[in-house]
Structure 1
Amino acid sequence: MSESQPRKVALLGLMLESNSFAPVITEEDYVNRVYLAGHEILRDLASIDPMLPTEMRGFCNEMDGLSAWQAAPILVGLVEAGGPLDHGFFETTVAEMRRRLEAAMPLDAVYICNHGAMITTEILDPDGEIFAMVREVVGPDTPIVATLDLHGNVSSRMVQSVDVIVSYQTNPHVDMFERGKEAALILQELFAGMKPEVAFLRLPIVPPTVTLLTEEGPYAELIDYGQTLEGKEIVNVSILGGFAYSDTPKNGLAIIVTARVRGGVAERAAKDIAERAWKEHKRFTPILTPLETAVERVLEASRNPELSPVILADVADNPGGGGNGNTMWIVEALHEAGAEGVIAGVINDPALAAEATGLGEGATFTAVFNRDEPDQFSRRFEVEARVVALRDGDCVGRKGFYAGRRMNLGRTALLDIGGIQVVVISIRTQCADPVFLEMMGLDIGAARAVVVKSRGHFRAGFSEFFGPDQVIEVDAPGLTSPILSRFDFRNMRRPVFPVDRKVEWSVPA
């Protein structure tokens, strides 16, 4: 290729974090969120508030500033975490990716933007299927770089099919743009002739979600140490905590070290990190607040204005981890206790949002949450309510995980059920951004307590209102409970900590 010709780089990705215990994800779920192909991708990237994954924007932004290049947009899908993906739709999507890749040949490189913890209704490593398909199409010598969520579950097939994997370093995830940029920078080194050596180790640790924060704790310390190893010889250190609920043989804390040089540098670094991780493995034990204690904390805050307000994380019903976002255990307990000054959201109940919309603002009625009881945790809850506000659910994230991203929550209603203001939505979404509540006219700063359907990303979105000492992670029933012993794992390799309490392991010789 002559120096004057721009390098042609394919862009593709299919993002899904799959909870094997949650309802199946279908084509409709992707269409309701993000499913773009060809020039639709470029149009979205050029918009003021794009819908595409943030790391895709970071990659393209950095490529624009580095060298002449030509984007070959293939297909990108993004959806809220959920259950296994319908396998027929997966096969259709991968076939379309292949067709478009083959039509775009010859290519100088490929960028894959995946989550890494997807399963389908038939297979347990669809991310590996996508990676391998891309390698088969472009051949052994074309550089492929991929970015993954730090909750990705990594297989050997994934590592062997691409040149470099770059994972997030922050949880809550606020570094996606930077990781996309990093992938672009590494691609430039591959263009310049770098021949990376990659080491991959997986440990028998399946960390519960609440133990994977990166501000403090065992995972934060591991991430920080890994970054100290990057330098002249090592180009990237990615440490993925994984996602327990996918329930796959590739579950387990994964260490991927990519070196610029050969000779075992990457392997030595990976073993060093693994040894540190195993020494601290018992710290990956979740500590939650019982529901009764959480309710008492709210009552104390509502009665005493001198106390700091609190935010209750419904970590067991997190849509960002595959939860339905509709369980009412916490709200019902607060209502029965007579709590006041409380905001709760966002509750996924399309039927209730539609009924409230039909009644109109100001109407009073008996609100029935989970009238069909879609799963064992989402029990029916009836309460007298008043319709305060109605919206179409279209918004742009303003802080944290969703910042700058156009979102659609579907038909949305604000219901007053006494001392609790409840935001009900129609498209299942994690409550990680304050705009989801603010667009309904709610003053978060005036609330004595806020209940969010989120595991951890709310920490970045709501940090202006609540510090770490005001966060209460509540132990309530749900599809994403951090107490992993409550789940019937069938595919995960055993023993693993903390599902199993006694696990023996040592760094491979």
Structure 2
Amino acid sequence: MSTRKLRIGIGGMAIESSTFCPHRSGYEDFRVTRGQELLDRYAWTDPAHELSAAGGGIEWVPLVHAVALPGGPVETETYDRISAELVTRTREAGPLDGLVYDIHGAMSVVGMTDAEAALTAAVRAAAGPDTLLSAAMDLHGNVSYDFARHLDLLTAHRLAPHEDAWDTRERAARKLVERLRDGKGRPYRAWVQIPVLLPGEKTSTRLEPARSLYGSLAGIEAKDGVTDAAMWVGYAWADEPRCRAAVVVTGDDADLVREEAGALARGYWEARRDFVFVGPTGQADACVAKAVASDARPFLISDSGDNPTAGGAGDLPYMLGRLLANEDLAAGRATALHPGITDRAAVDACFTAGVGASVELRVGGEVSAGTGPHAEPYALSGEVVSLQTLDGVRAAAVRRGGVTAVLTERRKPFHTRADFGALDPHTYDLVVVKIGYLEPELYGMAADWLLALTPGGVDQDLLRLGHHRVERPLYPFDDEGFEEPDLTPALL
């Protein structure tokens, strides 16, 4: 067992990209960290943390990390700029014993088919063959053969919503350190893809069968000869051959990891028809009518098709139109709060007019206009009732009848109470948020809720999106007459 000081790099590029979204992710969309700022992202890089202090200690080497809110595909120039810096810093930092590779797994880049495979191959070449690479990923990532073969360890979240995201990163680091300390070298990786592609809203670990499937991973990991067990549902809103579920079991017992990976893959395949939406669903008008008629307050509705934290544009005014089409809401007999429609020009106009002013706006469709009737700007007249800056993003609230629409100058999620600022969501009858399954604080806030099956770049109805590059057959695009797939894991 080695007791010398280890040198371990940390870096990566993380974004979830919908190829059905007209938005394009540029350099300004990424938060790029280097040096001490990068190390400060991770509690376990503190020299006093037991992981860093054990053995001969660890020198954590900050490379570069770039992370962005999910959105459309990354611009080629942006990918080239970030990947070049990561590769250069990796090469210049050498020799490294290991590298914690903090990514997402569902990044799409304009003009590329498997961006993560290309990036990982370049990082592997820069790090050299003797450096162990350990990837921490989102379970909504994709794991192609070309991607996985360049990695030595790879793990993913085990909860959706991802309350264990930071636990996953620490697990990737801890497993890497353990291997380097024990001197075991590269483990076997049993890899298999499953011809199933489901949206995250149908694979939440709050419900079966995902709860039991993901709940079994820790027990598999605890077996002698196994280092880690991971399962990915894939990313449903990219149209690429790699998009499908996958399993990787890592360890030193080749037969055991292959056996466990095969069992997990078969269990997922056999349960494919059992996955259901994480909450009750409906079309937009039915959801609004049911919420207005309910006594549960606040009643939350997910505008799921335009969820910016899944890759939606966040600029569709579709739900705003459906709210104001409801007579009770239009007349003010019921109230609704609807954040956050992205429209910089409308926000500028509201800030110029000031609180209390009457405005006439064309709201939404900033990048999506022209992609369908649901994406055309909505004519909104009303009163400016709030002007705020939320997490560095200017936000204007405009009220018409009983509906208050929150407009933002940039794409912004509303997941926590703090995200709403001075606007208290508890004081409204309805809160309609651009999200899919409710994040924990919203889930706790909701007296009741519905998942509205709305249009957009992350439409829950995969069959109407128009996938044509995914490998077929693939469930749910193909079902009846689908032959049993070969789920024999490959040993990497």
Task: Compute the TM-score of the two structures, normalised by the length of structure 1.
Answer: 0.87
Equivalent residues in 2 for 1:304-453 (5 A)? Answer: 304=295, 307-337=296-326, 338-339=328-329, 340-370=334-364, 374=369, 375-376=371-372, 377-394=374-391, 408=392, 410-437=393-420, 439=421, 441-453=422-434
What is the aligned partner in structure 2 of residue 180 from structure 1? Answer: 169
Q: Contact 2:298–2:425 at 8 Å: present in 1 too?
A: no
Question: What is the identity, as a one-letter code, of the residue corresponding to 2:232?
Answer: L
| Alignment deviations for residues 214-254 of structure 1 (CA, whole Å, 9 cap, x no partner) | 11132222111233222133221111001111111111111
Query: Using the alignment, how far apart are the partners of 1:342 and 1:247 within structure 2?
Result: 35
What is the aligned partner in structure 2 of residue 193 from structure 1? Answer: 183
Alpha-carbon offset, residue 297 of structure 1: 1.3
What is the aligned partner in structure 2 of residue 504 from structure 1? Answer: 483
What is the aligned partner in structure 1 of residue 445 from structure 2? Answer: 465
Alpha-carbon offset, residue 62 of structure 1: 6.4
Query: Using the alignment, how far apart are the partners of 2:11 and 2:166 within structure 1?
Result: 16
Question: What is the identity, as a one-letter code, of the residue corresponding to 2:351?
Answer: T
Query: Using the alignment, how far apart are the partners of 2:45 and 2:156 within structure 1?
Result: 13
Alpha-carbon offset, residue 179 of structure 1: 0.9
- Residue 241 (1) aligns with residue 233 (2): yes
Moved more, 281-290 or 197-206: 281-290
Q: Contact 2:342–2:364 at 8 Å: present in 1 too?
A: no
| Alignment deviations for residues 8-52 of structure 1 (CA, whole Å, 9 cap, x no partner) | 21111111111111135343433xx40223x2xx13544xxxxx5
Moved more, 489-498 or 377-386: 377-386
| Alignment deviations for residues 183-240 of structure 1 (CA, whole Å, 9 cap, x no partner) | 1210122111234221111111001231121111322221112332221332211110
Query: Using the alignment, how far apart are the partners of 1:415 and 1:326 within structure 2?
Result: 16
| 2:149 alignment partner, SS class | helix
Query: Using the alignment, how far apart are the partners of 2:195 and 2:269 within structure 1?
Result: 9
Query: Using the alignment, how far apart are the partners of 1:325 and 1:58 within structure 2?
Result: 34
Query: Using the alignment, how far apart are the partners of 1:393 and 1:459 within structure 2?
Result: 18
Question: What is the identity, as a one-letter code, of the residue corresponding to 1:235?
Answer: T
Question: What is the identity, as a one-letter code, of the residue corresponding to 2:191?
Answer: F
Query: Using the alignment, how far apart are the partners of 1:100 and 1:487 within structure 2?
Result: 39
Equivalent residues in 2 for 1:246-265 (5 A)? Answer: 246-259=238-251, 261-265=252-256
Query: Using the alignment, how far apart are the partners of 2:11 and 2:388 within structure 1?
Result: 33
Query: Using the alignment, how far apart are the partners of 2:172 and 2:240 within structure 1?
Result: 27
Query: Using the alignment, how far apart are the partners of 1:295 and 1:444 within structure 2?
Result: 16
Alpha-carbon offset, residue 335 of structure 1: 1.6
C-alpha spacing 1:418/1:57, structure 2 compared with 1 (3 Å): farther
Query: Using the alignment, how far apart are the partners of 1:125 and 1:414 within structure 2?
Result: 40
Query: Using the alignment, how far apart are the partners of 1:424 and 1:193 within structure 2?
Result: 55
| Alignment deviations for residues 318-359 of structure 1 (CA, whole Å, 9 cap, x no partner) | 111221112222222222213222111122111111111111
Question: What is the identity, as a one-letter code, of the residue corresponding to 1:464?
Answer: G
- Residue 266 (1) aligns with residue 245 (2): no
Query: Using the alignment, how far apart are the partners of 1:496 and 1:77 within structure 2?
Result: 32
Query: Using the alignment, how far apart are the partners of 1:499 and 1:69 within structure 2?
Result: 48
Q: Contact 1:57–1:180 at 8 Å: present in 2 too?
A: no
Q: Contact 1:285–1:498 at 8 Å: present in 2 too?
A: no
What is the aligned partner in structure 2 of residue 209 from structure 1? Answer: 200
Match of 1:64 among 38, 52, 56: 52
| Alignment deviations for residues 126-146 of structure 1 (CA, whole Å, 9 cap, x no partner) | 111121112212222211111
- Residue 293 (1) aligns with residue 286 (2): yes
What is the aligned partner in structure 2 of residue 401 from structure 1? Answer: none
Alpha-carbon offset, residue 495 of structure 1: 1.4
Q: Contact 1:84–1:119 at 8 Å: present in 2 too?
A: yes
Query: Using the alignment, how far apart are the partners of 1:476 and 1:133 within structure 2?
Result: 39
* CA RMSD of superposed structures (Å): 2.2
What is the aligned partner in structure 1 of residue 90 from structure 2? Answer: 101
Q: Contact 2:187–2:250 at 8 Å: present in 1 too?
A: yes
Structure 2: gaps spanning 5 or more residues: none
What is the aligned partner in structure 1 of residue 9 from structure 2? Answer: 10
What is the aligned partner in structure 2 of residue 80 from structure 1? Answer: 69
| Alignment deviations for residues 427-447 of structure 1 (CA, whole Å, 9 cap, x no partner) | 21232222221x1x2222232
C-alpha spacing 1:214/1:426, structure 2 compared with 1 (3 Å): same
| Alignment deviations for residues 383-409 of structure 1 (CA, whole Å, 9 cap, x no partner) | 221111212222xxxxxxxxxxxxx4x
C-alpha spacing 1:103/1:459, structure 2 compared with 1 (3 Å): closer
Question: What is the identity, as a one-letter code, of the residue corresponding to 2:88?
Answer: R
C-alpha spacing 1:342/1:62, structure 2 compared with 1 (3 Å): farther
C-alpha spacing 1:252/1:62, structure 2 compared with 1 (3 Å): farther
What is the aligned partner in structure 1 of residue 111 from structure 2? Answer: 122
What is the aligned partner in structure 1 of residue 21 from structure 2? Answer: 22
| 1:250 alignment partner, SS class | coil
Q: Quick one: percent identity of the two aligned structures?
A: 23
Q: Contact 1:208–1:244 at 8 Å: present in 2 too?
A: yes
Alignment size in residue pairs: 471
Structure 1: gaps spanning 5 or more residues: 47-51, 395-407
Query: Using the alignment, how far apart are the partners of 1:101 and 1:44 within structure 2?
Result: 14
- Residue 144 (1) aligns with residue 138 (2): no
C-alpha spacing 1:385/1:71, structure 2 compared with 1 (3 Å): same
C-alpha spacing 1:167/1:2, structure 2 compared with 1 (3 Å): closer
Q: Contact 1:368–1:380 at 8 Å: present in 2 too?
A: yes
Alpha-carbon offset, residue 58 of structure 1: 5.6
Q: Contact 2:193–2:487 at 8 Å: present in 1 too?
A: no
Alpha-carbon offset, residue 419 of structure 1: 0.8
| 2:221 alignment partner, SS class | coil
Query: Using the alignment, how far apart are the partners of 1:499 and 1:25 within structure 2?
Result: 27
Question: What is the identity, as a one-letter code, of the residue corresponding to 1:466?
Answer: A
Question: What is the identity, as a one-letter code, of the residue corresponding to 1:193?
Answer: G
| Alignment deviations for residues 112-132 of structure 1 (CA, whole Å, 9 cap, x no partner) | 101101121111211111211
Question: What is the identity, as a one-letter code, of the residue corresponding to 2:439?
Answer: R
Query: Using the alignment, how far apart are the partners of 1:65 and 1:279 within structure 2?
Result: 45
